[in-house]
Amino acid sequence: MTTTDTSIESTIDRLLDELLGELDPKGDPVEFLGAQFDKGLAWIHFPEGLGGLGFEPKYQSRINQKLADAGAPNPARRNVIGYGMGAPTVLTHGTDEQRHRYLRPLFTGEEVWCQLFSEPGAGSDVAGLATRAIKDGDEWIVNGQKVWTTVAHLSKWGMLVARTDPELPKHQGMTYFILDMEAPGVEVRPLRQITGEAEFNEVYLTDVRIPDSMRLAERGDGWRVSLTTLMNERVAIGNNVVPRGDGPIREAVRIWRDRGGSPADRDELVKLWIEAEVARLTNMRAAESLDRGTPGPEGSISKLVYAELNKKIYEFAVSLLGADGMLYDSYEMTVPTEFAPASEHDVRRSFLRARANSIEGGTSEIMRNILGERVLGLPGEPRVDKDLPWADVPRS
């Protein structure tokens, strides 16, 4: 550890002690997270005044661990889409006015965010989206449909990508907006999942007006901005394996202990714990690469590993329950009234929900394609639409 590291860690520890001394971490979460943001402990690598101190991102794990040990609220669980994807996108591509307007209430969870990318005809190939935005003076008029939108029914803001120039090739004719989910013409409909819950939604946009001041980056830059969101999404999804020994693996350990598991089960549990730790370290490397502005393949690695590992851990946990693993309270449709994940102790629900991990945020097959092409240098899939104007691409 260098002298600089020691000095930075001393500064962080002092600020953490101040924060925990001034406010009860188990009190009002909005007040506590607001104070955390103001002290620069929200995203340590962000600039001062925007939730950070301009330090390297590696110090964030020190902050998160100490606050978790104190029982402080987790901002990612209060606003996972905004925290993991919205914040880095706004920081990278937003104006100073947009950064100061959106980042603090995003971090505190006062304003929940959602992601409006996928459409009925554009999921894995998100660049093929058809939602249109037409310029009308200082506004844009948007029409289209989005689907599989997590917590859209709870969100104040949506990260929207729409087609603004259909005569250009599909990757060049998109623009990125921040959408007010309460604006006239926005209709949110719930989608029932296998768990019975409806955290996903379909969103219909009918003559929705968006001020040009809520555009991120320039017209036609939508794909470039979207890549920032997507790369951070994969890291955010993979981030569910940290901190060490937490999350799904913790529940598997708890059940093994409570049920008096066999030595063979213990052997399998240790193997899964090691996999979870490898995934955690890989994700830390991915997060640091993104924050340094040098995104690499680690985000896809993290997302792929997390999706498959999560399923394996919950399958194992349910198997430890024996016949009790077949019990489930109710499959009746319920719409969450707040953004909070189901109890991690409900491993039966988590077992069912984990099926979606290999689909959301890019399927495991897509992640393997990315790694094959961009890491191993394998040839990409043939594309007939690369240079065609989007309007001329054949569609079924």
**Secondary structure letter of residue 86 according to DSSP:** I
* Domain closes at, from 88, 108, 128: 108
* Domain closes at, from 56, 83, 108: 108
- In angstroms, the CA 373 to CA 381 distance is 9
Same-domain check for residues 117 and 103: no
**Residue 288 a catalytic site member:** no
Q: Please, are residues 158 and 152 in contact by the beta-carbon 8 Å criterion?
A: yes
- 395 CA to centre of own chain: 30
Q: Is residue 391 part of a domain?
A: no
Q: Is residue 392 part of a domain?
A: no
Same-domain check for residues 310 and 326: yes
Same-domain check for residues 104 and 171: no
Angle, helix 29-38 to helix 3-22, in steps of 10 degrees: 150
Tokens linked to 66: 């100490």
User: What pTM was computed for the model?
Assistant: 0.84
Task: Give pLDDT tens digits along the chain (396 positions).
Answer: 566 888 999 999 999 999 999 999 999 999 999 999 999 999 999 999 999 999 988 898 889 989 999 999 999 888 989 998 999 999 999 999 999 999 999 999 999 999 999 999 888 788 899 999 999 999 999 999 999 999 999 999 999 999 999 999 999 999 999 999 999 999 999 999 888 888 899 999 999 999 999 999 999 999 999 999 987 776 666 554 445 666 788 889 899 998 888 899 999 999 999 988 888 787 777 666 655 655 566 667 878 888 889 899 999 999 999 888 888 777 777 777 765 554 444 888 889 888 888 888 778 888 898 888 888 888 887 877 778 888 888 776
Same-domain check for residues 76 and 198: no
- In angstroms, the CA 125 to CA 256 distance is 41
Same-domain check for residues 101 and 57: yes
Q: Is residue 36 part of a domain?
A: yes
- Cα of first residue to Cα of last residue in the chain, in angstroms, is 59
Q: Domain with 159 in it: what CATH number?
A: 2.40.110.10
- In angstroms, the CA 182 to CA 152 distance is 10
Provide the pLDDT for residue 344: 44
Q: Is residue 178 part of a domain?
A: yes
Tokens linked to 12: 């962080």
Q: Give residues with Cβ within 8 angstroms of 25, minimum separation 6.
A: 32, 67, 70, 71, 72, 73
Same-domain check for residues 179 and 233: no
Which of 192, 322, 242 minimizes the C-alpha distance to 60? Answer: 242
Question: Please, is 394 exposed, middle or buried when counting C-beta atoms within 10 Å of its C-beta (0-12, 13-18, 19+)?
Answer: exposed
Domain count, the chain: 3
Q: Which of 111, 233, 251, 288 is catalytic?
A: 233
Q: Please, are residues 307 and 364 in contact by the beta-carbon 8 Å criterion?
A: yes
**Amino acid in the structure at residue 209:** R
Same-domain check for residues 355 and 283: yes
Q: Is residue 329 part of a domain?
A: yes
- In angstroms, the CA 186 to CA 96 distance is 27
- In angstroms, the CA 354 to CA 143 distance is 33
Same-domain check for residues 25 and 135: no
Same-domain check for residues 20 and 146: no
Whether cis (ω within 30° of 0) applies to the bond prior to 248 is no
- In angstroms, the CA 336 to CA 223 distance is 31
Segments in 218-324 forming alpha helices (H)? 222-238, 248-259, 263-291, 298-320
Same-domain check for residues 33 and 151: no
Residue range(s) defining the domain that contains residue 256: 225-374
Q: Is residue 320 part of a domain?
A: yes
- Element spanning 214, H or E: none
Q: Is residue 121 part of a domain?
A: yes
Same-domain check for residues 182 and 323: no
Same-domain check for residues 196 and 117: yes
**Amino acid in the structure at residue 302:** S
Q: Domain with 23 in it: what CATH number?
A: 1.10.540.10
